[in-house]
Amino acid sequence: MTEVTNVSERLSSAHLADASEGMSYLESLPRKVVTTWMPLTLILIVLLFPFYWMVLTAVKPNEQLIDMTHFNPFFVVGPTLDHISELLFRSQYPRWLWNTTYVSVLATFISLIASVMAAYAIVRLRFSGAQTVGGLIFLAYLVPPSILFIPLAAIVQSYGLFNSPMALVLVYPTILIPFSTWLLMGYFKTIPFELEECALIDGASRLQILTKIILPLAVPGLISAGIFSLTLCWNEFIYALTFISSTENKTVPVAIVTNFVDGDIYHWGALMAGALVGSLPLIILYSFFVEYYVSAMTGAVKE
Amino acid sequence: MTDATAIATTAGGRTTWERLRSHRDWLGFWFMAPAAAILILFLAYPLGLGVWLSFTDAKIGRPGHFIGLDNYDWLSDDSVFWGSVFFTCFYTLVASSIKFAIGLYLALLLNKNLPFKALLRSIVLIPFVVPTVLSAIAFWWIFDSQFSIISWSLVKLGLIDRYIDFLGNPWNARWCLIFANIWRGVPFVAITLLAGLQTVSPSLYEAATIDGASRWQNFRHITYPLLTPIIAVVMTFSVLFTFTDFQLIWAMTRGGPVNATHLMATLSFQRAILGGSLGEGAAISTAMIPFLLAAIMVSWFGLQKRKWQQGGDND
């Protein structure tokens, strides 16, 4: 509170009369429109415009895409599903979607199991050196894939996993585990010790405690970690680009950049349709779990 | 030690306590094993291997020989490499500061008493959720030289008479990439700072306002000091991820035109994976490590120190 008194001392002479300033609910409507709604609308338009453009291009017939004098490019006359059907029925897109889903789900599953065990051990078993291990895991979070992909390419090749989705399934957890472990550590800390103590007295083993007491109570944490992991896998680009070379094994982000882009303007519709369809699963998933997602994002940073 | 140890002591006596204690490390080991195995095998080991590879002349599919500092020597005379170092630093500095400014502003806007608060917050997050590469492609199309909607609008408004060559001119391309990076990064900064803002008690602002504090003083002396720890964390992450960015550049320009937009990450990909010389690429990645450490130190300790000074003022 000394902060506030300092302010008041420095100020007491000048603006005492203007007490309404700073209290948003006392703001007049015109002022609120100018200081809040206008900038907010502007920012939201800029943030959303690329999606509008993506959707618009995906349903626009080709002749309207390249003719900007007779058609206003901001709107579409007679939308078409040609690009999307071309994508789904005349390209390998379904195959890429399947690859992405399969890799993401498996990697998320592996990471969740490993993270739950690691987080439980660090927070509740408190083995010697648990603090250090927790710190190391946080450091692992700060190691970016951009400096790991070259040595990993060599390792993946020497294990004979090159061009195999299994390489991604094994490598993605390195991105997911540090994050999920930190998130889950936060959740586990909030579960009262007494519950575990009772179970210990009743003769439960540590594994039983974990599966029957801790996990049911940490479901929100598991959902957050799971969604965040799925998003990260779906997003991942550099490893998938490096380790996968054949078209049928690619994931959606890589396939769109490498297989649809050949400088031909007529591909724009399909390209945008591909980007749209590739984003939809995440947007749908996220719209159901937005609260968990936000708590995952902010909670992990707050740690 | 309020955990199981204490319980075991009361419940089972000395022997149980000892057994549990010896079990504890053992159990800890087994519980840590899956995570540790993955992280050591695919994170710690590659990190070391990367540094080692940078001292060799390894090619794809052929293990290299130790050649000392030759790779670095070669890079130090390579203007493309220094260009990428310059652009990486420039990109990180400009994009991170603007992301911070807009993110903080947006967080302050969203923290006001608004209708549809939850809806607004979800909309703001969308750029963060959509895969970067896919939104980068949308930007690529927006910045197309022939069919750019921005050029079209500006021409219609009579502001310019020729279409802008967004991605074909080095500086235009650089600013376009920075813009796309900011666009993608703002939601993360804003939503995280918003979470921090919501923990600030409104009574502080009320007290200050009654004492006659202006809007700016409210921000400067209440919001900012209370938000400093979370700002430190957010900016550390933001700087880190901007510095090591890859996807955006690869999807939009692939380092062109004439290598003007290569970040160190994209350059190392081009040299190591496309060019096949793993050693040289590894040297570029390894050269990123000191920069990364410096960036983390500056944003972390810089802000921590300011927080400490603020605390010092208070006492």
Ranges of each domain in chain B: 1-53, 71-314
DSSP-derived secondary structure letter, B7: H
- Write out chain B's pLDDT in tens, 315 residues: 445 544 444 444 456 655 655 577 788 888 899 999 999 999 999 999 999 999 988 887 777 788 888 889 988 899 999 999 999 999 999 999 999 999 999 999 988 877 888 788 888 888 888 888 888 988 988 888 777 888 888 888 888 877 888 888 888 899 999 999 999 999 989 988 988 888 888 888 889 989 988 888 988 888 888 888 888 888 888 888 899 999 999 988 888 788 889 999 999 999 988 888 888 999 999 999 998 888 777 766 766 655 544 544 433
- Cα distance between residue B168 and residue B144, in whole Å: 9
Residues of B with CB below 8 A from A150's CB? Answer: 50, 53, 268, 272-273, 278, 281-282, 285
Domain boundaries, chain A: 17-80, 87-302
CA trace torsion A183, A185, A190, A191 (10° rounding):
120
Please write the tens of the pLDDT for every residue from A230-278. 988 998 999 999 999 888 889 998 888 887 765 555 578 888 888 888 8
Selected residue of A1, A2, A4 to mutate for chain B interface (largest B Cβ count, 10 A):
A4
pLDDT of amino acid B1: 43
> Do B53 and A154 make contact, defined as CB atoms within 8 angstroms?
yes
User: Under 8 Å CB-to-CB from A212, ≥6 apart: which residues?
Assistant: A199, A204
Mapped onto helix, strand or coil, the DSSP state of residue A27 is coil
CATH code of B71-314, in short, is 1.10.3720.10
ipTM for the predicted complex: 0.83
R_g of chain A, CA atoms, integer Å: 26
CA distance, residue B120 to nearest chain A CA (Å): 9
Please write the tens of the pLDDT for every residue from B186-238. 998 998 898 888 888 888 888 998 998 888 898 888 888 888 888 888 888 88
- Cα distance between residue B110 and residue B104, in whole Å: 10
Q: A87-302: what fold?
A: MetI-like fold (1.10.3720)
- Cα distance between residue B180 and residue B137, in whole Å: 10
Structure tokens at B179: 């813009």
Q: CB-CB: which of A125, A130, A238 is closest to B246? A: A238
CA trace torsion A130, A135, A141, A144 (10° rounding):
-130
> Do B25 and A127 make contact, defined as CB atoms within 8 angstroms?
yes
pLDDT of amino acid A228: 86
DSSP-derived secondary structure letter, A205: -
pTM of the model: 0.84
> Do A155 and B3 make contact, defined as CB atoms within 8 angstroms?
no
Contact at 8 Å (CB) between B243 and B285?
no
Helix (H) or strand (E) holding A84: helix A82-89
